[in-house]
């Protein structure tokens, strides 16, 4: 697995476009993975940290991927996309490192970690019942956002039970909803609003193997829009 840290140039027109339209950001990031076709995700997860005064004015982007990225492919198309390292007060930009899944990500059962996660907590309504699916009457249903904080926490706890960890403590902070221009025919084209929630808290590893897969695969829907990357630190 590879983890990249990108400091973006806020004066770049392409950066400004990508920051305002998350799917455009996804398309830009995919330039660093030229061997993947458009139908392959490559395990790419990303998280944009927007500047908040009086902190750094730069856009910070974390990208996790199964394949090694070639960020020169992106900068070859958009030469001003990344901030000069001297202006960002770092030695290297972009920066990328390989993380051993065996040594760094296989946490033992019972291990406690701090986490932060930007997610799109939703649920499906109107989906077919199991008996209907077996009879061949399958309905996909509609995905709706979970607005109440307790519903969001409950959603995260369910994801934890599925993903090999237990949520010990968590707060859910609703961020500005993401806007995505959905293109279709004249009747379908319009702005799609995606609920964005930042979770912060502590978790305990229950099943190390499933937890590893959760780290690699991300949590919840909307991963192309910058949701699902689980960021961990020592408790």
Q: What is the pLDDT of residue 50?
A: 81
Which stretches within the chain are classed as H helix?
13-20, 22-29, 72-77, 85-88, 101-104, 130-134, 149-163, 208-217
Number of domains in the chain: 2
Q: What is the pLDDT of residue 179?
A: 61
Residues 93 and 131 in one domain: no
**Mean pLDDT over residues 51-55, rounded?**
62
Instruction: Give the pTM.
Output: 0.86
CATH of the domain at 129: 3.30.70.1210
Residues 228 and 135 in one domain: yes
Among residues 99, 124, 147, the one where a domain terminates is 99
CATH of the domain at 30: 3.30.70.1200
141: alpha, beta or left? (left if phi > 0; alpha if psi -120 to 50): left
Residues 152 and 107 in one domain: yes
**Mean pLDDT over residues 190-217, rounded?**
92
Among residues 43, 75, 99, the one where a domain terminates is 99
Residues 95 and 6 in one domain: yes
Structure tokens at 127: 């989906």
Query: What is the pLDDT of the chain when averaged over all its residues?
Result: 87
Residues 110 and 176 in one domain: yes
Confidence of residue 185 (pLDDT cuts 50, 70, 90): very low
Residues 33 and 124 in one domain: no
Residues 22 and 124 in one domain: no
**Mean pLDDT over residues 51-66, rounded?**
80
């Amino acid at each position: 697995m590879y983890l990249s840290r990108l400091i973006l140039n806020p004066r770049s027109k392409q950066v400004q476009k990508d920051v305002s339209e998350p799917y455009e950001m996804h398309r830009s990031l995919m330039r660093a993975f030229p061997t993947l076709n458009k139908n392959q995700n490559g395990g790419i997860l990303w998280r944009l940290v927007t500047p908040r005064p009086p902190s750094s004015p730069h856009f910070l982007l974390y990208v996790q991927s199964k394949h090694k990225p070639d960020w020169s492919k992106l900068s070859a198309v958009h030469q001003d996309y990344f901030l000069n390292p001297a202006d960002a007060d770092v030695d290297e930009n972009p920066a990328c490192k390989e993380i051993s899944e065996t040594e760094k990500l296989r946490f033992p059962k019972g291990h406690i970690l701090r986490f932060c996660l930007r997610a799109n907590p939703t649920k499906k309504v109107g989906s077919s019942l199991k008996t209907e699916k077996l009879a061949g009457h399958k309905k996909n249903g509609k995905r709706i956002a979970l607005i109440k904080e307790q519903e969001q926490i409950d959603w995260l706890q369910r994801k934890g039970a599925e993903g090999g960890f237990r949520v010990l403590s968590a707060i859910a902070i609703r961020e500005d909803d993401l806007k995505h221009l959905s293109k279709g025919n004249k009747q379908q084209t319009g702005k799609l609003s995606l609920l964005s929630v930042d979770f912060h808290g502590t978790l305990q590893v229950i099943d190390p193997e499933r937890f590893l897969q959760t780290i690699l695969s991300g949590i919840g829907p909307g991963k192309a829009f910058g949701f699902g990357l689980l960021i961990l630190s020592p408790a």
